[in-house]
Amino acid sequence: MPLSELRDGDVVLVHPGQGIPADGVIRVGTSAVNESMITGESRPLDKKLGDRVIAGTLNGSGSLRVEVTGTGDDTALAKIMRLVGQAQSSRSRAQALADSGTESSRRSQFLYHQSYVIPATRAG
């Protein structure tokens, strides 16, 4: 079944070594799931009946039947990507303050140069 046809409530079979196609809840099976791309945890996490799994993570050694709870833009990975994009496109208050300070510093240097350095070179 193509990913585009998955809907909330569908139950999918995830074989050992396969990627988990959608966010969901384990309804049958146990396995160790590698969630390092989401959590940064270097070791796979043991998953059992009722545990949540995240789209894009990698199923380990056991087969799982997962009830879909989120697909496409409604997955945890898609939400993380949106948040990262928003963070990258916005400026923090500290960054704005630093930029403002840099501009003030440039103006001060220019005024110093105009007031002291140029007249001194003309006098000498």
Q: Kindly state the DSSP code that residue 45 receives in the 8-state scheme.
A: E
CA–chain centroid gap for 121, Å, is 56
Token pair belonging to 99 = 């930029």
pLDDT at res. 85: 84
Distance, in Å, from the CA atom of 23 to the CA atom of 54, rounded to the nearest integer, reads: 4
| Closest C-alpha among 42, 44, 15, 47 to residue 31 | 47
| Closest C-alpha among 41, 82, 76 to residue 55 | 76
pLDDT in tens, the chain (124 residues): 677 788 999 999 999 999 999 999 999 999 999 999 888 888 999 999 999 999 999 999 999 999 999 988 888 888 888 888 888 777 767 666 666 666 666 666 666 666 665 555 565 5
In order of 59, 67, 103, the CA distances from 9 in angstroms are: 20, 6, 56
